Amino acid sequence: MQETGNPFEGPQTKHETQDGVFSAEEVRLANRNSGAMLEMLSLDITPVGGHYLLTHFDVPLIDASSHRLRFEGAFDNPFAMTMDEIRAAPAITRTVTMECAGNGRAGMSPRAYSMPWLYEAVGTAEWTGTPLAPLIEKAGPSNAVVDFSFEGADFGYDKGVPHFFGRSLTPDELEALDVLLVYEMNGQPLLPQHGAPLRIIVPGWYGMASVKWLDRITALTDRYTGFQQVQTYRFRQTSDEVGEPVTAIRVKSLMVPPGVPDWITRKRQLKSGLVRLEGRAWAGATPIDRVEIHIGGDWHTAELAKPLGKYAWRGWSFEWWAEPGHYKLACRATDAEDNVQPLEPEWNLSGFANNAVQQVEVFVTD
Ligand SMILES: Nc1nc2c(c(=O)[nH]1)N[C@H]1C(S)=C(S)[C@@H](COP(=O)(O)O)O[C@H]1N2
Ligand SMILES: [Mo]
């Protein structure tokens, strides 16, 4: 489905889903928004260059020396901060696994016509910055405030609606979530594509909440109605439904593909004998309880590595005595609230939060 005509005039009538071959438009989005290489799942921390990217519009190139973060709207003491002032505030580093809400979208049928992620829109970084809550408190939200919006410097159109990328969090959500104002990733200044000079990180939630190129925080006495808050990131079955908002990351696990790949199909070949299968499991801020590996009809319990932190994925491994044959390996995680990954995707119109088990096709030779 290629779009024709003027996309800057709403409302748009394009179909929301597609089946079969990927269009040139989807491929172009995939080229801009790179994913993690699954072999990098063997690392606790994803290298900056190996972390997935999702940018809706263009990357704004911001001069850090003149950038100001503005606190505006219904604050008693609105102010603006320079990057030097933000860096001088108490700094902390958190290890956070971030996953795009659209990860797995291309595994649904029909799929949403959007960025066609399979499994790779996930990564874990050490994010350095300052906690947001004390700064909000300093700005003094008035008693009537019910929402805070976080808006980036990037502007564009979606479905004929012009907007800056923006998201919001209620006072209760802000209190419950350890939101950070972040300027470093893995000990290096943020790269432009990851939000330089300043972004937020909302640990435990899907990536859309972690607004990049943060420009202003507005205290609101009505709920925020920005496009990215209201018109997308909702679980819907039909386009006229309001739907529930997408928030916390669902339990999920991935496997480092074992052995060696075939270039195009990514099917794997390995030698028979002892094989160490490994991967990662995560569930937002909820601990991982169990990971099971499916081999030739049976589920086996994997060993869990030491947790890296409340908001980070957990390593798992399993020693497999591989006999010659053809297998579809799979891994399945269960979190501490007893949520377990489904075997098949739970379909929704935008293809959000697909946490169905991953399958890896393996040919074991003598
Ligand atoms: N300003 C702005 N922030 C944004 C986005 C965006 O397009 N613009 N994309 C969001 C989405 S959907 C995701 S998944 C994460 C991706 O962050 P990353 O590119 O650093 O991995 O950023 C979020 N923050
Ligand atoms: Mo995303």
Helix, strand, or coil (residue 209): helix
137-152 residue pLDDT tens: 999 999 999 999 999 9
* 234 and 269 both lie in a single domain: no
* 86 and 142 both lie in a single domain: yes
Q: How far is ligand 2, taken at its centre, from the CA of residue 362, in Å?
A: 30
* 72 and 87 both lie in a single domain: yes
Once rounded to an integer, what is the mean pLDDT over residues 244-257? 98
From 193, 219, 245, the end of a domain falls on: 245
pLDDT computed for residue 15 by the predictor: 73
Asked if residue 364 lies in contact with residue 324, where contact means CB atoms within 8 angstroms, the answer is yes
Mean residue pLDDT across the chain: 96
Under the banding of pLDDT at 50, 70 and 90, the label for residue 9 is confident
In a domain, 13, yes or no: no
Pocket (CB within 6 angstroms of ligand 1) = 51-56, 98, 100, 152, 154, 165, 194-195, 207-208, 210-213
In a domain, 154, yes or no: yes
321-348 residue pLDDT tens: 999 999 999 999 999 999 999 999 999 9
CATH of the domain at 283: 2.60.40.650
pLDDT computed for residue 345 by the predictor: 97
* 262 and 212 both lie in a single domain: no
Work out the percent of the chain whose per-residue pLDDT is above 70. 98
Once rounded to an integer, what is the mean pLDDT over residues 286-315? 97
Under the banding of pLDDT at 50, 70 and 90, the label for residue 254 is very high
Is residue 64 scored above 60 in pLDDT?
yes
* 221 and 275 both lie in a single domain: no
* 87 and 201 both lie in a single domain: yes
Q: How far is ligand 1, taken at its centre, from the CA of residue 193, in Å?
A: 9
* 114 and 173 both lie in a single domain: yes
Specify the pTM: 0.97
**Residues facing 57 on adjacent strands:** none
The mean-pLDDT minimum among 9-18, 166-175, 206-215 falls in: 9-18
Is residue 365 scored above 70 in pLDDT?
yes
From 245, 273, 306, the end of a domain falls on: 245
* 135 and 58 both lie in a single domain: yes
* 136 and 284 both lie in a single domain: no
Ligand 1 atom closest to Cα of 101?
14
From 197, 212, 245, the end of a domain falls on: 245
In a domain, 184, yes or no: yes
Residue with tokens 């994803």: 46
Asked if residue 176 lies in contact with residue 195, where contact means CB atoms within 8 angstroms, the answer is no
Q: How far is ligand 1, taken at its centre, from the CA of residue 66, in Å?
A: 22
Nearest ligand to the C-alpha of residue 227?
1
In a domain, 313, yes or no: yes
Domain of residue 344: give its range: 252-365
Give me the phi and psi of 3, to 5 degrees please.
-80, 140
pLDDT computed for residue 349 by the predictor: 96
DSSP string over 76-103: SS--EEEHHHHHHSPPEEEEEEEE-TTT
Total tally of structural domains belonging to the chain: 2
In a domain, 6, yes or no: no
Is residue 4 scored above 70 in pLDDT?
no
* 171 and 309 both lie in a single domain: no
pLDDT computed for residue 2 by the predictor: 54
| CA–CA dist 158, 353 (Å, integer) | 20
| CA–CA dist 343, 340 (Å, integer) | 9
* 241 and 277 both lie in a single domain: no
Half-sphere exposure of 112 (CA within 13 A, CB side): 26
Under the banding of pLDDT at 50, 70 and 90, the label for residue 1 is low
Once rounded to an integer, what is the mean pLDDT over residues 260-270? 97
DSSP string over 241-292: ---EEP-BPPPEEEEPPPSEE-TTT--EEEESEEEEEEEEEE-TTSPEEEEE
CATH of the domain at 61: 3.90.420.10
